[in-house]
Structure 1
Amino acid sequence: MKRLSVMVLAALLVAPVSLQAMEKPRDWIAPPPETVPNHREMWRQVIIELARYAKARKKDFTVLVRGGVELVVKGEREAEWDDVQDPAGVMFEKRHPLGQPFRPYVNAIDGLILDDLYCGADAFAKPLDQAIKDRRDFDKVLAEERARGIQRPPIPEPLGPFSIDPEVEKARAAEYRRQANKVERQRRIIYAVDSLRQAGRRILSLESCKDAKAISAAYRDAARDKVLTYAHAGDERLNRVPGGHPWGENADPIPTLNQARNWLPVLSSEKFGSKSEWVAAMEHSNYDILLVDVAYRGMDGLSFADTLKLKYKNLGSRRPVMAVLSLGKAYDSRWYWKPEWRTGEPPFLFAPDPDVPGSWVVNMEDAQWKEMLGKTLAGIIGAGFDGVVLDDVDTYLWFEELMPLR
Structure 2
Amino acid sequence: MRKIFFLNQIAYTILLFIIVLSGVTYCQDLINQNLSDSDSFFYRDEMRHFIQVISRYSHLFHPYFIIVPQNGLSLLTSNGEPEGVLISKYLSAIDGVGQEELYFGFLGDDEHTPEIITSNWLGFLNKIRVLGKAVLVTDYCSEPFNIKNSLESNNLQQFISFPAESRELNIIPDNSSVPYRANSENIEKIIHAKNFLYFINPSSFSNTEEMIEALSRTNYDLFIIDAFFSKDEMFTHEDIDHLKEKMNGGKRLVLSYLSIGEAENYRYYWQKEWDINPPPWLEEENPDWSGNYKIRYWDKNWQQIIFGNPDAYLDKILKAGFDGVYLDLIDSFEYFEELQ
TM bucket by the smaller chain? 0.7 to 0.9
Match of 2:201 among 262, 265, 268: 268
Structure-2 separation of matches of 1:199 and 1:344: 46
- Provide the residue aligned with 2:172 in structure 1: 241
- Provide the residue aligned with 1:112 in structure 2: 97
Please tell me whether residue 192 in structure 1 is matched to residue 124 in structure 2: yes
- For the residue of structure 2 that corresponds to 1:217, the secondary structure is helix
Query: Does structure 2 conserve the Cα–Cα contact (< 8 Å) formed by 1:343 and 1:351?
Result: no
- Provide the residue aligned with 1:46 in structure 2: 50
- Provide the residue aligned with 2:338 in structure 1: 401
CA distance 1:232–1:248, change in 2 (3 Å)? same
Match of 2:66 among 62, 74, 87: 62
CA distance 1:121–1:376, change in 2 (3 Å)? closer
Partner AA of 2:58 in structure 1: A
- Provide the residue aligned with 1:392 in structure 2: 329
Please tell me whether residue 213 in structure 1 is matched to residue 150 in structure 2: no
Partner AA of 2:86 in structure 1: P
- Provide the residue aligned with 1:148 in structure 2: none
Structure-2 separation of matches of 1:270 and 1:263: 20
Query: Does structure 2 conserve the Cα–Cα contact (< 8 Å) formed by 1:342 and 1:349?
Result: no
Please tell me whether residue 320 in structure 1 is matched to residue 244 in structure 2: no
Report the CA distance between 1:102 and its aligned residue.
1.1
Structure-1 separation of matches of 2:164 and 2:315: 31
Structure-2 separation of matches of 1:236 and 1:391: 14
Structure-2 separation of matches of 1:386 and 1:215: 28
Report the CA distance between 1:387 and its aligned residue.
0.8
Query: Does structure 1 conserve the Cα–Cα contact (< 8 Å) formed by 2:65 and 2:324?
Result: yes
Report the CA distance between 1:337 and its aligned residue.
1.1
Query: Does structure 1 conserve the Cα–Cα contact (< 8 Å) formed by 2:258 and 2:328?
Result: yes
Structure-2 separation of matches of 1:362 and 1:343: 16
Please tell me whether residue 285 in structure 1 is matched to residue 218 in structure 2: yes
Please tell me whether residue 254 in structure 1 is matched to residue 187 in structure 2: yes
Structure-2 separation of matches of 1:55 and 1:266: 25
- For the residue of structure 1 that corresponds to 2:272, the secondary structure is coil
- For the residue of structure 2 that corresponds to 1:395, the secondary structure is helix
Report the CA distance between 1:193 and its aligned residue.
1.4
Q: Deviations 1:53-90 (Å, cap 9, x if unpaired)?
A: 1123211111101001110012269xxxxxxxxxxxxx
- For the residue of structure 1 that corresponds to 2:212, the secondary structure is helix
Structure-1 separation of matches of 2:258 and 2:199: 13
Between the two proteins, what is the percent identity of the paired residues? 26
- Provide the residue aligned with 1:301 in structure 2: 234
Structure-1 separation of matches of 2:160 and 2:276: 38
Residue-pair matches, total? 293
- For the residue of structure 1 that corresponds to 2:331, the secondary structure is coil
Please tell me whether residue 72 in structure 1 is matched to residue 3 in structure 2: no
Q: Give the TM-score taking structure 2 as reference length.
A: 0.81
- Provide the residue aligned with 2:281 in structure 1: 348
Partner AA of 1:241 in structure 2: I
- Provide the residue aligned with 2:19 in structure 1: none
CA distance 1:76–1:203, change in 2 (3 Å)? closer
Q: Deviations 1:182-221 (Å, cap 9, x if unpaired)?
A: 74x5565234213312422111100112511010111111
Larger RCO (alpha carbons 8 Å, 6+ apart):
1
Partner AA of 1:100 in structure 2: V
Structure-2 separation of matches of 1:362 and 1:344: 15
CA distance 1:308–1:34, change in 2 (3 Å)? closer
Larger C-alpha radius of gyration, 1 or 2? 1
Structure-2 separation of matches of 1:341 and 1:56: 32
Q: Deviations 1:232-254 (Å, cap 9, x if unpaired)?
A: 33x45211322222111111111
Query: Does structure 1 conserve the Cα–Cα contact (< 8 Å) formed by 2:50 and 2:298?
Result: no
Which is helix-richer, 1 or 2?
Answer: 1
- For the residue of structure 2 that corresponds to 1:55, the secondary structure is helix
Partner AA of 1:395 in structure 2: S
Structure-1 separation of matches of 2:44 and 2:236: 34
Q: Deviations 1:279-315 (Å, cap 9, x if unpaired)?
A: 2211221111111000012331111111111010111
Report the CA distance between 1:263 and its aligned residue.
0.5
Q: How does 1:127-146 map to 2 (within 5 A)?
A: none
Question: Which runs of at least 4 in structure 1 moved beyond 4 Å after TM superposition?
Answer: 185-188
Partner AA of 1:262 in structure 2: N
Partner AA of 1:44 in structure 2: R
